[in-house]
Homo-oligomer: A and B are copies of this chain.
Amino acid sequence: MIQLTNEPIDHNALTELVRRPGCGAVVTFLGTVRDLTGDQVTVALDYDAYPQMAERKFAEIEAEVRSRWPVGEIALVHRLGHLDIGDVSVAVAVSCPHRHQAFDACRFAIDQIKELVPIWKKENWADGRTEWVHPGAG
């Protein structure tokens, strides 16, 4: 299950969605908006995406996770738009028969999301400046 949404992420629904009688382990990851980045104070984030490509990349990541681990169900959801401190920006929930599979699968999925999916965040600093985050250089 893959979704880009402008609404708050109902992470509990995602966790419930992936539970399966044949899967003894569920791992749910939530990325939330942090108030500090290094020593800079963030007051909010704005997320932008290239939607159809982002959905394609999500689908590729889901397929790759399913090819590597015996996944019962997996949910990948990213929120877009304006987020306040503490809001959930991304959620990944995975069920597998055994716990180490579920941990590895969930971690791989979020690592891949952060590497491959065309989504960008704009920091809204406490001093009023804003800055798109493009890792790797200034």
**Residues of A at under 8 Å CB distance from B?**
11-12, 15, 19-36, 85-86, 97, 99-100, 102-103, 106-107, 110
Contact = CB atoms under 8 A, between A and B. Distances in A.
A86 B21 CA distance: 5
A80 to B, nearest CB: 17
A99 B31 contact: yes
Given A12-B15, A103-B103, A110-B99, A31 B36 contact: no
Given A11-B15, A15-B12, A34 B97 contact: yes
B11 A34 contact: no
Given A11-B15, A34-B97, A99-B110, A25 B29 contact: yes
Majority secondary structure of chain A interface residues (helix, strand, loop or mixed): mixed
Count of identical protomers in the assembly: 2
A27 B25 contact: no
A71 to B, nearest CB: 15
Given A26-B30, A34-B97, A99-B107, 6 more contacts: A12-B15, A15-B15, A22-B34, A22-B35, A24-B32, A25-B29
Can you list the 4 inter-chain pairs with the closest CB atoms, starting with the nearest?
A24-B34, A12-B12, A26-B30, A21-B35
